[in-house]
Structure 1
Amino acid sequence: MDIFRFIKFGLVGVSGLVIDFFITWLFKEKIGLNKYVSNGLGFLFGVINNYFLNKYFTFQNNDSNLASQFFSFLMISIIGFALNTFLLYLLQKNTKINFYVCKAIVTIMVFFWNFSANTLYTFKIQ
């Protein structure tokens, strides 16, 4: 595993998280959209940000098929989101650990899924 690529992937993830939260807040609090619609928009903007930053910054990928590659990245992100939610549910249901501590644990676990899947599939290095 390339540790520098792993760190870059993490930094990109943090930027996507900031964008996700900002867009969610903007659409929910300032524009007045439904909180779940706002959350979905935040997730989508975060994924778009992460795709482009990971493509050019983390993986220096030159594949010209943006639509297909983005779709792969989006599907991996959606699977990661589903894993995150499911694992958070299981951890909360079966332990007395604080919700936010559980969320942090699960986020770290899913980070490995996202990095591995995107390294091996979306941005596979020839």
Structure 2
Amino acid sequence: MALEARGQTHSRIIPFFLVGALSSLVDIGLMYTCTTFFEVWYLYAAAFSYCCGIVVNYLANKYLTFHDTSTKTAVQFATFTAVSISCLIVNLGIVWLGVTFFALTPLLAKIIATCLAFLWSYHGQSRFTFRNAA
């Protein structure tokens, strides 16, 4: 049974990646729009855009990746958000380090940060948020 569950968990990594790519497009697109067109400071824009990406990511993962039918949506979204906030802290730290110490553009630093946060996000969401999904 444990081996079957493990295989099922690993089979979800590709849909999780695709949903992550979608939410990353929302995240990075909003950050770009906020910094370029509205001249919002890059860290404020990164935090705002990440939060919007969280909502897209939660809904798509709940229904498309994990096919979750739980009715405890508020608790589940709170758990999803907690895992996502831990990723946000890592994400913002990497963006700040990339811009401040490595002279990267905020957009390039954001792309690198998003890639590095992917594995923790998958582990956290599959272990904590959607652990009881069918």
Same fold (TM over 0.5): yes
Q: 2:21 aligned to 14, 19, 38, which one?
A: 14
- The percentage of aligned residue pairs carrying the same residue is 23
Match of 1:112 in 2: 119
Gap change, CA 1:86 and 1:41, over 3 Å in 2: closer
- Tell me the TM-score normalised to structure 2 length: 0.70
Q: Distance in 1 between matches of 2:28 and 2:47?
A: 11
Does the alignment pair 1:73 with 2:80?
yes
Q: Are the structure 2 counterparts of residues 33 and 109 from structure 1 closer, same or farther at C-alpha, using a change threshold of 3 Å?
A: closer
Query: Offset of 1:107 from its aligned partner?
Result: 4.7
- The 5-angstrom pairing of residues 30-109 of structure 1 reads 30=37, 32=38, 34-35=40-41, 36-86=43-93, 89=97, 104=112, 107-109=114-116
What amino acid sits opposite 1:110 in the alignment?
Answer: A
| Partners of 2:94 and 2:55 in 1: CA distance | 24
Moved over 4 A (4+): 84-89, 98-101, 106-109
List gaps (5 residues or longer) in structure 1. Answer: none
1-structure distance, mates of 2:29, 2:94: 25
1:44 is displaced (CA, Å) by 1.0
Q: Deviations over 1:13-63 (max 9, x none)?
A: 111110011222333333x25223332221111111000000000100111
Structure 1 residues 3 and 56, CA, compared in 2 at 3 Å: closer, same or farther?
same
Equivalent pairs, count:
119
TM-score by length of 1: 0.74
Question: Paired residue for 1:27?
Answer: 34
Offset of residue 110 of structure 1 = 2.9
